[in-house]
Amino acid sequence: MLDVGVRPDSILLVAGDVRDPKTCENLISKTVENYFNPLPQETEKLMLDAGVSSSNILLVAGDVRDPKTCENLISKTVEKWGRLDVLVNNAGVISKLGVPVDSEENFDYTFDVNLKSIVRLNKLAIPHLEKTKGNIVNISSINALTRGRDVPTFYALSKAALDHYLKYEAPGLAEKGIRMNNIA
């Protein structure tokens, strides 16, 4: 198993979808899952089927573009478990369905989900992560570095911006004892 420096009792907040909840169970004991699934019982069933204990799951529904959702994610996590150790920014979109990929509406949507929500969540989480000397993991993309086939421009740009955000933010966070990394 990959050693990511997470303690067995870590409080992990996943902003976005957990595709393999068993992986999370192997790394942590308590998971906060932000989901956009209109059927929360499906999200919970997926996690329970993977062996995650119901007492170790907190589901918070909402759209990460909404500041209230971001506030709820952080506050409900800390309210339930008293701390936050790891924030995984896993929310992401390639483009908005039903609108032209080169439209301003799609640009705004893609950047709001793939960058702005991450900056917002990080800002809200930092005071808590500073106390625990915690970690932030942002999910980027190889498309930030190289042109992919049939990859929408705004998606690649948003992930490149996320990589640059890391370069500018990580050194200051390290001074506070917080480690921030991007993975693709």
Domains of the chain as residue ranges with CATH: 12-182 (3.40.50.720)
For residue 31, name the pLDDT band (cuts at 50, 70, 90). Answer: low
Residue 123 burial (CB count, 10 A) = 12
Side-chain half-sphere exposure of 30, counting CA atoms within 13 A: 17
Range of lowest pLDDT (35-39, 63-67, 95-99, 124-128): 35-39
Residue 165 among the catalytic residues: no
What confidence score (pLDDT) does residue 152 get?
93
* Average pLDDT score over the chain: 85
Q: How far is CA 20 from the centre of its chain?
A: 14
pTM of the shown model: 0.87
Residues 6+ apart with CB under 8 A from 146: none
* Range 120-143 average pLDDT: 96
> What are 55-106's pLDDT values in tens digits?
888 888 888 999 999 999 999 999 999 999 999 998 889 999 999 999 999 9
Q: Which of 35, 109, 155, 165 is catalytic?
A: 155
For residue 2, name the pLDDT band (cuts at 50, 70, 90). Answer: very low
- Measured over the CA atoms of residue 4, residue 8, residue 13 and residue 14, the dihedral's sign is positive
CA-only gyration radius of the chain, Å: 16
